[in-house]
């Protein structure tokens, strides 16, 4: 039996409508279409689930057509379909799952549902050929966790955020300081002109000897400090930039301290493959990337960070993760359901907190 080679991936779990074709013999990303929805949500200061779901339903088939066209293919050339089946905003996930089912029903192609977090966690295997096992820090707008990635469907969670995800904290900080969404890039840009030492901001849970993190207190501290700096209802540009720099430095400190801890646990468990990878939208942040690179270098571990376009939400990671499942013989049927919550490590209890994408882990 020949293994499925060309996989069409669909992703719609938050605010990006994405489709991609991946050649599993390589593996190579043949196309990667990502249509963001920032314009639709801007006025509301955050992702509105109902608006997101409707936009996914309207746009997904167009994204699929374009992904096929860019790969120089038609549906007849595809060997299998992979779709994000959770975790995420339920309406959006449903749009993608229904579209995938429609495509599978009309073509007879095999299809599988993919865990969005598995997509992020497996990306370094797609982009850098990183061999299992490796430690993964997944940092995005909805998630923050340390995972030992042992295989395509085998994950052990070492810890994670107990409240907000870092991307969520970046987005909220941007909102508090009047910067545009998504907050990560705009806070990072403002931080370049700021003094990170001017304000003393909290670094929660650093005294705890575990891999858990907390970011919600940081946003409250930003709000309070902003209020103390406002005159005539306005915030000076320099004050804003200093706050951004201080905020980013606090996130960097928490992530690096906890990564050091997670890496030492991982290296005791898996001394043969000292490797850490980072993924998720927040991994696009230069200061965070280079701080994590330093932690890896100091520990003598390989460091892998996917290219920016594959760090943020995309369908190539879903095609690849689904392709691995399809090649191992997995198939889903028309009864595949969309799951708003879907922890990767089912052996661990859910962590507290829920953000724009639901439970954190
Ligand atoms: O992985 P992603 O595209 O979607 C989720 O699964 O959440 O991550 C989006 C998040 C947003 O919160 C965004 O503000 C953050 O990633 N982000 C960044 C940067 N670029 C995107 N955070 C910090 N610095 C950045 N440069
Ligand atoms: Zn994501």
Whether residues 284 and 317 fall in one domain: no
**Mutation test of ligand 1: which of 42, 84, 184 has the most ligand atoms closer than 8 Å to its C-beta?**
184
Question: What mean pLDDT, rounded, does the chain reach?
Answer: 93
Whether residues 163 and 241 fall in one domain: yes
Residue 47 pLDDT grade (very low, low, confident, very high; cuts 50, 70, 90): confident
Number of domains in the chain: 2
Question: Does residue 248's CB lie within 6 angstroms of at least one atom of ligand 1?
Answer: no
Question: What six digits make up the tokens of 298?
Answer: 């100091």
Q: Which atom, in ligand 1's list, is nearest to the CA of 120? A: 1
Judged against a pLDDT cut of 70, whether residue 173 lies above it is answered with yes
What is the distance in angstroms between the CA of the first residue and the CA of the last residue of the chain?
37
Residue 1 lies in a domain: no
Question: Does residue 280's CB lie within 6 angstroms of at least one atom of ligand 1?
Answer: yes
Question: Does residue 171's CB lie within 6 angstroms of at least one atom of ligand 1?
Answer: yes
Residue 360 lies in a domain: no
Q: What is the pLDDT of residues 135-155, one digit of tens each?
A: 999 999 888 999 999 999 999
Mean pLDDT of 108-132: 96
Whether residues 52 and 104 fall in one domain: yes
Q: What does the pLDDT read at residue 48? A: 85
| Alpha-carbon torsion (83, 323, 330, 69), positive or negative | positive
Whether residues 302 and 313 fall in one domain: no
d(CA 327, CA 310): 22
Nearest CA to ligand 1 atom 3: 312
Q: What is the pLDDT of residues 54-83, one digit of tens each?
A: 988 899 999 999 999 999 999 999 999 999
Judged against a pLDDT cut of 70, whether residue 224 lies above it is answered with yes
Spell out the SS3 assignment of 73-137.
Answer: CCHHHCCEEEEEEECCCHHHHHHHHHHHHHHHHHHCCCEEEEEHHHHHHHHHHHHCCCCCCEEEE
Question: Could you tell me whether strands 28-36 and 134-139 are parallel, antiparallel, or unpaired per DSSP bridges?
Answer: unpaired
CA of 239 to the centre of ligand 1 (A): 24
Structural domain span for residue 38: 6-125+309-355
| CATH, residue 220 | 3.30.420.40
Q: What pTM did the predictor assign?
A: 0.91
Instruction: Output 23 or 232, whichever has higher pLDDT.
Output: 23
Give how far Cα 109 sits from Cα of 4, 65, 100, Å: 10, 16, 10
Mean pLDDT of 213-218: 94
Whether residues 221 and 314 fall in one domain: no
Share of the chain above pLDDT 70, in %: 96
Q: What angle do CA 12, 17, 19 make, to 5 degrees?
A: 95
Judged against a pLDDT cut of 70, whether residue 357 lies above it is answered with no
Question: Does residue 215's CB lie within 6 angstroms of at least one atom of ligand 1?
Answer: no
Q: What does the pLDDT read at residue 49? A: 87
Answer yes or no: are the C-beta atoms of 109 and 80 closer than 8 Å.
yes
Question: What six digits make up the tokens of 35?
Answer: 């249509």
Question: Does residue 17's CB lie within 6 angstroms of at least one atom of ligand 1?
Answer: no
**Mutation test of ligand 1: which of 168, 252, 282, 354 has the most ligand atoms closer than 8 Å to its C-beta?**
282
β-partners of residue 23 are 6, 28
């Amino acid at each position: 039996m020949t293994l499925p080679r060309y996989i069409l991936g669909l992703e719609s779990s938050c605010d990006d409508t994405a489709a991609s074709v991946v050649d599993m013999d390589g593996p190579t990303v043949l196309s990667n279409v990502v249509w963001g929805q920032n314009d639709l949500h801007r006025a509301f200061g955050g992702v509105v689930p109902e608006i997101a779901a409707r936009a996914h339903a309207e746009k997904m088939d167009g994204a699929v057509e374009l992904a096929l066209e860019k790969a120089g293919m038609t549906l007849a050339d595809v060997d299998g379909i992979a779709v994000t089946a959770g975790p995420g905003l339920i309406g959006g996930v449903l749009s993608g799952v229904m579209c995938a089912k429609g495509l599978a029903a009309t073509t007879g192609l095999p299809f599988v549902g993919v865990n969005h977090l598995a997509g992020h966690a497996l990306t370094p295997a797609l982009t850098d050929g990183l061999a299992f096992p490796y430690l993964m820090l997944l940092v995005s707008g909805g998630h923050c966790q340390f995972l030992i990635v042992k295989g395509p469907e085998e994950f052990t969670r070492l810890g994670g955020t107990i409240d907000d995800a870092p991307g969520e904290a970046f987005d909220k900080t941007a909102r508090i300081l009047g910067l545009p969404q998504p907050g990560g890039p705009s806070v990072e840009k403002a931080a370049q002109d700021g003094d990170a030492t001017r304000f003393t901001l909290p670094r929660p849970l650093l005294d705890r000897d575990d891999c858990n993190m907390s970011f919600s207190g940081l946003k409250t501290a930003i709000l309070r400090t902003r209020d103390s700096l406002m005159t005539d209802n306005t915030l000076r540009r320099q004050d804003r930039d200093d706050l951004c720099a201080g905020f980013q430095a606090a996130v960097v400190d928490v992530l690096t301290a906890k990564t050091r801890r997670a890496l030492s646990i991982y290296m005791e468990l898996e001394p043969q493959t000292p490797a850490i990878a980072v993924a998720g939208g927040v991994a696009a942040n230069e200061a965070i990337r280079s701080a994590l690179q330093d932690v890896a270098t100091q520990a003598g571990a390989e460091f892998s960070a996917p290219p920016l376009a594959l760090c943020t939400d995309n369908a190539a990671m879903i095609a690849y993760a689904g392709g691995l499942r399809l090649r191992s013989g997995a198939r889903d049927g028309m009864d595949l359901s969309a799951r708003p919550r879907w922890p990767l490590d089912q052996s661990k209890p859910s962590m507290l907190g829920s953000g724009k994408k639901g439970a954190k882990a």
